[in-house]
Structure 1
Amino acid sequence: MTPTRAQDLAETAELAARARRVGGAGTSLSEDEVTAFVAESLAGVDLDGRSVCLVVPDGTRSCPLPLLLKAIHAALAGRATRTTVLIALGTHAAMDDAALARHLGHPEGGLDTAYPGVTVMNHEWWDPQTFVSVGTIPSERISELSEGRLDQAVDVRLNRHVVEHDVALVVGPVFPHEVVGFSGGNKYFFPGVAGQEVIDLSHWLGALITSADIIGTRGITPVRALINEAASLIPSERLALCLVVKSGSSVLHAISFGDPESAWAAAAEVSAQTHVRYLDAPVRRVLSIMPEKYEDIWTAAKGFYKLEPVVADGGEVILYAPHVTEIAAMHPEINEIGYHCRDYFVKQWDRFKHVHWGVLAHSTHLRGAGTYDEVGGERLRLTVTLATGIPEDVVRAANLDYLDPREVDVAAFEADPDTLVVPQAGEVLFRLR
């Protein structure tokens, strides 16, 4: 560990110490404990006569949102002048009324009864009227934050509902993440409810570092530093309830409260102990069984990100998701460029720089490590295979391998000593010791 890295972790520990936290690795909090923690935390904040915007995850994250929302609604009753729940889609598909009802824990059509006075809306990232600019980060500062990897200014645009409320309260889980190190905190603003400019810049910065190098990295990574800088421009008071959730469940290991920087740091400490599994030796093959909350490869690709570090050179990751029928519902550009390693784009930048950098980043994250030159072409470390409902010609055109999902015998894979089978893949990171 370099002195800079050690110092960075020490600073993150100091941040974590500022937050209130209950629970920890191996703990399962009761509903009463969670409700009491939320009530006590919000009681200590000046919310009387103020408007509150709750920024919450969409359905691609494990999160006991009904429990949290019920506790927050009770804690704000008679205090907040208005409360808005904003779904942080990033650039994911919008959630319809039925999905929102399940997600927030009320009968369809029964929002007003379950949560009187609350307005719920998707982050409408496709509508330019959604956004307001809160300032610009100059190129010199971007160069500093990115450690010299990028040097252009960025307009920081954000969903206007965040800016038009007095308080912005993030409520969401923390997991190892392929772009930023650990998700959560200010990431619910950027990219959660952000304009394309910061989304593209931050995701491409993560791609330049590479997913394998940044995922599960503790402390303030360059991407986290960029996100925090953007968040500092938000005029509303920023608070956060950061959660550590047992993957694939509604069980909370821990919950922390404070400003987004400190609450995130406190939760990330627990996530690093909870959401990372270590293997003694690399495996030749992984079968990642993807849950149905991932509706396309754009989101189901997490089954690759979280497993890439433990696969041997020349190995394979199979994403098994028979329910998935398209590569990217909201990003057809990926079908045009396909999946390639970072250097494929960097060394042909004039050819690809016009494509949204967030799309380029997603491409590199799923294709993993590799090299490219004009003579030898692209050389990739791993094979990525889709066993999904996507037609074979579409899969192969995207530069991925194909396996008929009807031919997948999970029991046979489990019996194979060279294969690691991971049920409910996508949230737990696997690493070598």
Structure 2
Amino acid sequence: MTLVSTASNAPPLTMIGAPGVELTPAEVTAFIGTALAEIDFTGKRVALVVPDGTRTCPLPLLLGAIHDTVGDKAFSVTVVIALGTHQGMSNEHLARHLGYPIGEAEQVYPGWTVVNHESWLPETFVTLGTITAARLSELTGGLLNGPAVDVRINRHVADADIALVVGPVFPHEVVGFSGGNKYFFPGVSGQELIDLSHWVGALITSADMIGTSGITPVRALINEAAAMIPTQRLALCMVVASGTDTLHAIAFGVPEDSWAACAAVSAQTHVTYRDAPVRRVLSIMPSKYEDIWTAAKGFYKLEPIVADGGEVIIYAPHITQISVMHPHIAEIGYHNRDYFLGQWERFEKVPWGDLAHSTHLRGQGTWSVADGERNRVTVTLATGIPEDIVRSVNLDYLDPASIDIAACEADPHTFVEAHAGEVLYRLRPPSGMPAPSAALPG
């Protein structure tokens, strides 16, 4: 299918697949070959911006098809892992993720260079410009009226002639639906915009933001920053069956268009509705989530179906740390949004991205001087993190060895999600009210 692009001087948006469709590897490879054949890569410096290991994505299939199409036309191709502020991927992890034997990247992807987005190194970045306080207020509908924010991005992207995003679209707690320009900001961006964009999402709250279609305030902010990138921006966006290598859909075009097309499919693929709330959820986290910073998705995606006063248990015996890259979380703990806003003078100097993560995992609630903090649901960690540390960050603790998964599955008051982190659960809207959805552009 070919759709009309919403961007001027852009390649036409092309797409195959739909909700429920299972594309074959041959169909995906052929689509990529045809789509990219329209782009002139000759003599160009190309940056491929791809997800890290916390996102389900059949990268070996996709990158193999891209390599076959681009061949030796490009002057250079650099694969940049969009870590945001996640920890760097080891050589062993990169090999598994990208599909080559350890130490043999050159044999599988000859001529390509693979790099982590090293957010911890100042030399990683190029400054593109500034979003003023006045413009920030416009983009966020007045949620934030400043400060002005510098827009910095990985120099491999800024120095490229073509920046091609390759990655999936899922419901997301900060922006509504992930993917597209989000792979630039926060995927390979500086800390300033990461903190600010995540705090905008936190002000709206994860409960109101996650799975929201269209251009949310955070998406508007991301698109504004992406427009500053001095290169041709393209994207291969896709909808992946969670936890598998199966694609339901794949789209190619400018990031704004290909993302919108896939967000529409994701809204019909990655959102599951239930008729009634449950008292308890057991979120079983896959091993790809290595700390609570990333495994918190097991809360975001399930909290909407939990009854007031209920509980979400994050079950991940393999996790032993709150956050590898964000030590402030262990200092401030997990609290709802109003806890921070009501005591802003105490917290305004803490990185706003850490405050946002704290509120996202703690969930909905209130705070006042008279009543203190009151949270809608209980958040319990059944992990390898010691009990004293869990309780010190304002969460409940369960010994993971005490969890009987089969008994939980048999309990009518408990919902067990065996592969938590990507599928969003919601309560079905009352009769006569439409469910939130995204529409295909064009």
Task: Using structure 1 for the length normalisation, give the TM-score.
Answer: 0.96
> 95, 98, 111: which one pairs with 2:92?
98
* CA–CA separation in structure 2 for the residues paired with 1:41 and 1:48: 16
1:397 counterpart residue number: 392
> 120, 132, 147: which one pairs with 2:141?
147
Q: Does the C-alpha gap of structure 1 residues 196 and 349 become closer, same or farther in structure 2, counting only changes over 3 Å? A: same
* CA–CA separation in structure 2 for the residues paired with 1:293 and 1:82: 30
> 58, 68, 76: which one pairs with 2:70?
76
1:210 counterpart residue number: 205
Tell me how far 1:13 sits from its aligned partner.
Answer: 10
1:5 counterpart residue number: none
| Percent of paired sites with the same residue | 68
* CA–CA separation in structure 2 for the residues paired with 1:235 and 1:367: 39
Tell me how far 1:184 sits from its aligned partner.
Answer: 0.2
What's the C-alpha RMSD, in Å, of the aligned pairs? 1.2
- Structure 2 counterparts to residues 42-61 of structure 1, below 5 A: 42-61=36-55
Tell me how far 1:78 sits from its aligned partner.
Answer: 2.6
* CA–CA separation in structure 2 for the residues paired with 1:299 and 1:19: 32
Q: CA offsets, 1:232-266, max 9 Å, x none?
A: 00001000000100000111111000000000001
Contact 2:5–2:13 (CA<8 Å) still a contact in 1?
no
1:411 counterpart residue number: 406
Contact 1:13–1:265 (CA<8 Å) still a contact in 2?
no
Give SS of 1:361's match: helix
> 229, 233, 240: which one pairs with 1:238?
233
2:286 counterpart residue number: 291
2:318 counterpart residue number: 323
How many aligned positions are there?
421
Tell me how far 1:46 sits from its aligned partner.
Answer: 2.1
* CA–CA separation in structure 2 for the residues paired with 1:388 and 1:367: 17
1:223 counterpart residue number: 218
Contact 2:5–2:12 (CA<8 Å) still a contact in 1?
no
* CA–CA separation in structure 2 for the residues paired with 1:427 and 1:186: 19
Give SS of 2:62's match: helix
> 15, 28, 32: which one pairs with 1:38?
32
Contact 1:288–1:304 (CA<8 Å) still a contact in 2?
yes
1:107 equivalenced with 2:101 (yes/no)? yes
2:254 counterpart residue number: 259
* CA–CA separation in structure 2 for the residues paired with 1:127 and 1:272: 36
Give SS of 2:48's match: strand
2:381 corresponds to which letter in structure 1? Answer: L
Q: CA offsets, 1:92-133, max 9 Å, x none?
A: 010010100000000101011101000000000000111111
Give SS of 1:390's match: coil
* CA–CA separation in structure 1 for the residues paired with 2:40 and 2:137: 37
* CA–CA separation in structure 1 for the residues paired with 2:422 and 2:101: 28
- Structure 2 counterparts to residues 184-199 of structure 1, below 5 A: 184-199=179-194
* CA–CA separation in structure 2 for the residues paired with 1:144 and 1:41: 36
Give SS of 1:319's match: strand
Contact 1:204–1:360 (CA<8 Å) still a contact in 2?
yes
Structure 2 unaligned runs (5+)? 429-442
* CA–CA separation in structure 2 for the residues paired with 1:227 and 1:35: 29
> 140, 164, 168: which one pairs with 1:169?
164
Q: Which runs of 4+ in 1 moved over 4 A?
A: 12-15
Structure 1 unaligned runs (5+)? 1-11
* CA–CA separation in structure 2 for the residues paired with 1:428 and 1:407: 26
Give SS of 1:244's match: strand
1:136 equivalenced with 2:130 (yes/no)? yes
1:274 counterpart residue number: 269
